[in-house]
Amino acid sequence: MSTATLTPTQLSANLGRGEHFQLIDVRSPQEYAEGHVPGAMNLPMDQAEARLEDLQHHDPIVLICQSGRRAGMTCELLKAHHKDLIILEGGTKAWIEAELPVVKTASTRLPLMRQVQIGAGGMILTGTLLSIFLHPGWIGLAIFAGAGLFVAGTTGFCGMAVLLEKMPWNRARS
């Protein structure tokens, strides 16, 4: 049995005719804040099974992600719990390309996890290149950053994120 899909223009037309859907955006909170379909609720893919109680059972559910891939994966996770699942073809990207309205709630700040990725990736790249071209001891920088990423991934605590949160560019604007 294949999963139903709707194009952005079909979904918009159906909503315009008063049809009811529960719109679920399965992207991260930051992606959701950067622009989402009006009326969509944010339920990140990694929380889907833990938040089954948030799903309505009287309206079809339209799963939305950036391009459609995560919506399809979430559909697989939820199909045992809900019978009427629909995937928005092309996701939010296609919705925006169709020039349909988008709700934006994000600031222009670079998301904290992207800052961590840039910082850790930069440390690993720098340490590796310096160890190749200058002195083998620089590999310690790459090892340090890699170990930090490993600890963050296994414990949920990221020291670099804690430090970056305190930086002036991540503080509230007055």
pLDDT tens, position by position, 86-141:
999 999 999 999 999 999 886 657 878 889 999 999 999 999 999 999 999 999 99
* High-pLDDT (> 70) share of the chain, %: 96
How many other CB atoms sit within 10 Å of the CB of residue 106?
14
Domain parsing of the chain, residue ranges: 4-97, 112-170
Strands 22-25 and 61-64, how do they pair?
A: parallel
Q: What are phi and psi of 79, to 5 degrees?
A: -65, -20
Spatial CB neighbours of 100, under 8 Å, sequence gap ≥ 6: 8, 9, 12, 37
∠ CA 53-55-60, nearest 5°, is 155
What CATH superfamily classification does 4-97 receive?
Rhodanese-like domain (3.40.250.10)
Q: Where are the alpha helices (DSSP H) in the chain?
A: 8-16, 29-34, 69-78, 91-97, 112-133, 139-155, 159-165
Tell me the mean pLDDT in the region 139-156.
95
The answer, yes or no, to whether residue 2 has pLDDT greater than 80, is no
Tokens describing residue 160? 């670099």
Taking alpha carbons only, the member of 34, 150, 42 closest to residue 160 is 150
Q: Give the integer Cα–Cα distance in Å for 76 and 81.
A: 10
To 10 degrees, the CA torsion angle through 11, 16, 18, 22?
40
Tell me the mean pLDDT in the region 142-149.
96
- Whole-prediction pTM: 0.68
- Catalytic center residues: 65
